[in-house]
Amino acid sequence: RIEAWHAYRKAADAGLLQAQLRYAEFLRNGLPEEHTADRTRPALKADPAQALTLFRKLAGYNIPQAQRNLAEMLLAKPAAERSAEETADAIHCLQKAADAGDAAAMGELAHLLEYGIGIAPDEKRAFHYFHKAAGAGVPRAQTRLGDFYWYGKVVKQDVVRAAEWYRKAAEAGHIPAKIMMAAILITPKNKYNVYKLTNDESLVITNDKIQKILSNNSEYKNILNIRRQLDYIYKTSEIVKKYNIK
């Protein structure tokens, strides 16, 4: 990957826009040290300021991935340090990227619309963008779309359809969706009449997996929501009691 970084840098210096995009992504995240059989390549430090400059330039060329990356970097700033202009720029970029078909941007825009972050809350529009992003295969959007159906937000409650979206996201490895699928699958007497109990090991809740969910929650920051869902599993599951999962 470090060799790729150098190759993209050369191509970026030559003015190739897609190379500049990839180079900016490397600059945003940096690269860890690499070890090969004959040598060790030192890590490459991230340079967020240069990455932001490049993303802003490329966003001006209406490149959706650049618009999304720019928005993500602006919104990553603490709210107290982010200006109203930066927030507006971020939302504008996400909207343009989403309208251009960038699925990840659709999901992020939907999140902002749902919770009113920097924009007036609008659950109907949030549902619209979650639905489009979920259909394009974005796991987090699939989970949130499942939540809309599960709780009957904007649409009529439909736990079967919710479970279908949770399963898609769970199969893609999204932790919150795995939690919800586990809750559905191990509910006594199949309360929701969605799926019968399964032997799918990836969806079986164990104490180790619960601890992993709580300690490795980089993908889904809402600890309170995870706690609530785990509490639901504890309260409704005879399996949890049978195997003394605490």
Q: Which two tokens stand for residue 114?
A: 């749902």
CB 140 within 8 A of CB 174: yes
Helix (H) or strand (E) holding 59: helix 48-59
Contact indicator for 216, 222 with CB cutoff of 8 Å = no
pLDDT tens digit sequence for 100-157: 999 999 999 999 999 998 899 999 999 999 999 999 999 999 999 999 998 899 999 8
- Local structure of residue 34 (DSSP, 8 states): E
% pLDDT > 90, the chain:
43
What is residue 79's predicted lDDT score, i.e. its pLDDT?
Answer: 87
Amino acid at 25: E
- Rounded to an integer, the average pLDDT of 35-59 is 82
Helix %, strand %, coil % for the chain, to 5?
65, 0, 30
- pLDDT value at residue 29: 86
Please choose, from the candidates 61, 150, 60, 75, the residue with its C-alpha nearest in 3D space to the C-alpha of residue 105. Answer: 75
- Residue 20 to residues 68, 73, 89: CA-CA distances in angstroms? 15, 17, 21
Radius of gyration in angstroms for the set of CA atoms belonging to the chain, rounded to a whole number:
21
Judged on CB neighbours under 10 Å (0-12, 13-18, 19+), 135 is middle
Q: Are 74 and 91 in contact (CB under 8 A)?
A: no
Q: Is 224 helix (H, G, I), strand (E, B) or coil?
A: helix
* Residue 3 identity (one-letter amino acid): E
Q: Work out the mean pLDDT of the chain and round it to a whole number.
A: 78
Phi, psi of 37 (to 5 degrees): -65, -30
Give mean pLDDT, residues 59-81: 94
Q: Give the per-residue pLDDT at 243.
A: 38
What confidence tens digit (pLDDT) does each residue in 173-194 have? 888 888 787 666 655 444 444 4
Under DSSP, the state recorded for 80 is G
Predicted pLDDT at 176: 82
- Paired with 34 in beta bridges are 41
What are all long-range contacts of 234-237, with beta carbons under 8 Å and residues at least 24 apart? 236/183, 236/187, 236/188, 236/191, 237/183, 237/186, 237/187, 237/188, 237/205
What residue has token string 């990356």?
69
The DSSP letter of residue 194 is: S
> What's the confidence (pLDDT) of residue 46?
87
Widest Cα–Cα separation across the chain: 64
